[in-house]
Structure formats: structure tokens, C-alpha cells
């Protein structure tokens, strides 16, 4: 399970190298907001060269939105080089994913890749996208998780981006709910733009994890350590999960399915959650979610 996705401009070789060598679980080579219009052709060429090199971690590419004149060229340039995934911004309808899925399928077929090899991560970051997130989540099998983009949503709806427990929580939860209903992995939370405020990042990440998110975007290497820590179970979490499972086995053998542990009522939903955390660890996960 990928906890941290670190954005880096695709046309800055030193930043890319630093991102790839750092502790982020995955790197997003950005062709959208971080790249000026006149630099986009050169950035595409840079992505192709990066993808030719041996990979130390998953490499995703954020292309431009389908509504722009750049997206088609982005996809045609980088998809044949087999990125691990495509980050598709400003998805507002299931039809956006059907278009991207068809195009990626054609490119995979013609470049010798297996069908569906390239992951597709839609960013929900507009009012229309939030309103349609239920149909977006189940549109194509290539999509394994959604991503929340709060910065563009705040611009679109004139919201207070800093209102973590108010305006931002409704779309954040809507995306988590749609993800679960569609059987997707936990979604990817929005980037935290106050780069030096690591305490604020920790709070924001914790808020997202409580809603079922399993990872977060980072826009600076300094954010990665905090994000990785928040989206990983603590030693206390792991120890308690083991105690719950062991105590439940004893109670069940005595004919009981509900009992108290440290003053807390334990029954099947609590035990199932503890088992999920331990199963995630056994499969190589980092946050207790099934991988």
C-alpha cells in the first residue's frame, strides 16, 4: 500500500533524482501545474527518459486534464514508456475515465504492454467531480483508488482551504464513501500546501486517515516522513490488535462473542478491524488495509 506520493516537476532533473532517491513510497512526475506551457514538450521528453531507467519505486505521471489541449499529447507520449500509473486531474464524469481507459488500452496494446497494466488515478477536485464521484468510482476496472484535490476545489467553489473540519471534510468524506462503496482501495488525500507546517500536516493527515484514506500527496520531500508515519500503524496499534484477536479467540472458545477489554466492549466489528490491520501487515502493507 502506497502511503506517500511525492510530486516533482518532470522537467527538473535534480528534483526528480532527489524524489526517487528519497523515502516517498511513489513519485509523481508532474506535467500539469508544475510545468509552464512552453516547457510541456520538453517535460514529456524528460518523462520518457526517466521511465527508461531502472525503477527503485513506482513512478506515476500527472498529465494535464482531458479538457485541455495538452492531455492527448501527454498520454500518447508517456504511456508507451509504461509508467506505473497516470494521475488524471479534474475528472468530472465517468465518461472522462472511459475516454482515458480506452486510450490507455489502445496504447498498451500497440506498445506490447498487458491490458490494464497502467494504473489510473482520477483526482476529484471540482464541484461537478464531487457530485458525480459515485459513478466515477465504479466507471472502469483500471481505477484502483481515487484522489482528493482540495486546492482546485477551493478555487472552484470559493471555499476556505484551511477549513479542515468544515468545508473540506464534506467532499473528503464523500470521496472516501464512494471509494468504499465501489470496492476501491482507500483514497489518496490532497496535498498540504503549508510546507513548513509539519504539525498542521500531521493533523491533516490524521484527519484523512480517520476517514479511511490510506495515503496522501506530498509537494516537498520534508513532508514524506510525517505522512509515512501517520499512515502506518503504530506499535501500540499493532499490539492492541493482537490482544483483541487473542482475547476474542479465548472468549469465543468459551461461547461468548462479546466481552470487555480494558473497559471497551469488543465484538465482531472490532475484531474484524483488528484482523484487517494484522492481515495488511502480513501481506506487506503499511497501514493495516488489505493490499
Per-residue pLDDT of the chain (291 residues; tens, 9 = 90+): 799 999 999 999 999 999 999 999 999 999 998 999 999 999 999 999 999 999 999 999 999 999 999 999 999 999 999 999 999 999 999 999 999 999 999 999 999 999 999 999 999 999 999 999 999 999 999 999 999 999 999 999 999 998 888 889 999 999 999 999 999 999 999 999 999 999 999 999 999 999 999 999 999 999 999 999 999 986 777 777 788 887 778 777 877 777 778 888 887 777 777 787 777 776 655 554 433
∠ CA(203), CA(6), CA(228), 5° rounding?
Answer: 45
pTM metric for this prediction? 0.87
Distances (CA, A) of 213 to 40, 185, 220: 31, 9, 20
Q: Contact, 27 vs 59, CB < 8 A? A: yes
Q: Contact, 60 vs 28, CB < 8 A? A: yes
Q: How far apart are CA 15 and CA 9, in angstroms?
A: 7
| pLDDT value of position 283 | 62
| pLDDT value of position 244 | 82
Please report where in the chains the cell 484502483 appears, as a residue.
144
Phi, psi of 136 (to 5 degrees): -65, -45
∠ CA(258), CA(260), CA(261), 5° rounding?
Answer: 125
Q: Contact, 232 vs 3, CB < 8 A? A: yes
Q: Contact, 236 vs 210, CB < 8 A? A: no
Helix-helix angle 198-210:169-181, to 10 degrees = 40
| pLDDT value of position 291 | 31
Please enumerate in sequence order all residues whose Cβ is within 8 A of that of 111, keeping only pairs 6 or more positions apart, or say none: 79, 80, 82
Amino acid at each position: 500500500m502506497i502511503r506517500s506520493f511525492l510530486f516533482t516537476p518532470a522537467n527538473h532533473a535534480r528534483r526528480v533524482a532527489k524524489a526517487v532517491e528519497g523515502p516517498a513510497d511513489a513519485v509523481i512526475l508532474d506535467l500539469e501545474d508544475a510545468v509552464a506551457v512552453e516547457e510541456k514538450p520538453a517535460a514529456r521528453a524528460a518523462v520518457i527518459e526517466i521511465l527508461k531507467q531502472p525503477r527503485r519505486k513506482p513512478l506515476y505521471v500527472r498529465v494535464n486534464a482531458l479538457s485541455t489541449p495538452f492531455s492527448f499529447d501527454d498520454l500518447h507520449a508517456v504511456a508507451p514508456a509504461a509508467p506505473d500509473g497516470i494521475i488524471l486531474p479534474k475528472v468530472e464524469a465517468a465518461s472522462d475515465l472511459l475516454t482515458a481507459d480506452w486510450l490507455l488500452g489502445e496504447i498498451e496494446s500497440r506498445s506490447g504492454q498487458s491490458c490494464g497494466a497502467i494504473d489510473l488515478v482520477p483526482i476529484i477536485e471540482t464541484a461537478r467531480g464531487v457530485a458525480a464521484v459515485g459513478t466515477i468510482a465504479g466507471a472502469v476496472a483500471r481505477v484502483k483508488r481515487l484522489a482528493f484535490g482540495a486546492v482546485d476545489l477551493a478555487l472552484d467553489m470559493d471555499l476556505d482551504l484551511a477549513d479542515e473540519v468544515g468545508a473540506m471534510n464534506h467532499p473528503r468524506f464523500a470521496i472516501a464513501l464512494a471509494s468504499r462503496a465501489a470496492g476501491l482501495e482507500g483514497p489518496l488525500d490532497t496535498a498540504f500546501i503549508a510546507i513548513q507546517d509539519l504539525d498542521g500536516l500531521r493533523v491533516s493527515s490524521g484527519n484523512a486517515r480517520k476517514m479511511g484514506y490510506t495515503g496522501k500527496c506530498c509537494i516537498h520531500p520534508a513532508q514524506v516522513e510525517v505522512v509515512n508515519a501517520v499512515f502506518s500503524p503504530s506499535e501500540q496499534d499493532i499490539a492492541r490488535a493482537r490482544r483483541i484477536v487473542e482475547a476474542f479467540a479465548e472468549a469465543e472458545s468459551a461461547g461468548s462473542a462479546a466481552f470487555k477489554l480494558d473497559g471497551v466492549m469488543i465484538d465482531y466489528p472490532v475484531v474484524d478491524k483488528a484482523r484487517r490491520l494484522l492481515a495488511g501487515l502480513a501481506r506487506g502493507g503499511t497501514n493495516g488495509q488489505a493490499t
